[in-house]
């Protein structure tokens, strides 16, 4: 990964990784203290369910409460991940959760109770409010696999999505709302 230029915050130099870890830490504290948090998505691992720029509402949620199919937020190594819960299992005394992005080929390493922060309860996209489904339709499942295995398909889908997003932000006069 290329090194990002340093930015001075206060009197302390911070690189991109340190800034991201700080942001995640603050967001996790807000979620734990307030019980809810809104986060804008940036990655592509949850295509076609979540698109870059979607605003998701996260509610505090424990590993004991997690159910297969829910979209959950966890923090690992100072970064947030929003992936779908696949299954829960016990290893000795520890309860673990397996997650995977909808367009990812493999499961993530197990999530422990201390890493799980919450679950996605709402998705806001282009002014529309949606409730995430615990089950992927056959069409979304197939689309997720295509996007997982074809960089070209992923680039085309993202380009079409960004054009549609830009078009929906225009008012009748052609100016941004």
pLDDT tens, position by position, 127-163 = 999 999 999 999 999 999 999 899 999 999 999 988 8
Looking only at the bridges linking them, the beta strands covering 128-130 and 94-100 are unpaired
Are 73 and 58 a contacting pair, CB within 8 Å?
yes
Nearest to 24 by CA among 148, 103, 115: 115
The alpha carbon dihedral of 133, 137, 141, 143 has a sign of negative
Q: What angle do CA 41, 64, 116 make, to 5 degrees?
A: 30
Are 131 and 69 a contacting pair, CB within 8 Å?
no
Identify the bridge partners of residue 9 per DSSP, sorted by sequence position. Answer: 12
Tokens of 53: 């720029």
Residue 63, SS3?
Answer: coil
Tokens of 1: 């990964």
Give dist(CA 104, CA 49) in Å, integer.
12
- Return the axis-axis angle of helices 138-149 and 151-168, rounded to nearest 10°: 120
- What does the pLDDT look like over 30-50, one tens digit per residue? 888 999 999 999 999 999 999
The pTM of this model reads 0.81
Are 6 and 13 a contacting pair, CB within 8 Å?
yes
Residue 109 — pLDDT band, cuts 50, 70, 90? very high
Residue 3 — pLDDT band, cuts 50, 70, 90? very low
Reduced 3-state DSSP string for 93-117: CEEEEEEECCCCCCCCCCEECCCEE
């Amino acid at each position: 990964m290329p090194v990002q230029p340093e930015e001075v915050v206060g009197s302390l130099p911070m690189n991109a990784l340190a800034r991201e870890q700080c942001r995640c830490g603050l967001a996790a504290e807000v979620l734990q203290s307030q019980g809810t948090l809104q986060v804008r998505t940036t990655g592509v691992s949850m295509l076609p369910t979540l698109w870059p720029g979607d605003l998701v509402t996260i509610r505090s949620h424990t590993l004991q409460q997690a159910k297969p199919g829910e979209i959950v937020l966890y923090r690992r190594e100072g970064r947030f991940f929003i992936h779908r819960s696949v299954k829960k299992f016990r290893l000795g005394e520890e309860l673990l959760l397996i997650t995977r992005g909808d367009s990812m080929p493999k499961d993530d390493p197990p999530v422990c109770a201390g890493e799980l922060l919450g679950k996605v309860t709402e998705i806001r996209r282009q002014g529309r409010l949606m409730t995430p489904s615990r089950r992927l339709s056959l069409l979304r499942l197939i689309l997720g696999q295509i996007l997982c295995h074809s960089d070209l398909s992923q680039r085309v889908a993202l380009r079409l999505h960004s054009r549609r997003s830009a078009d929906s932000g225009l008012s009748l006069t052609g100016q941004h709302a």
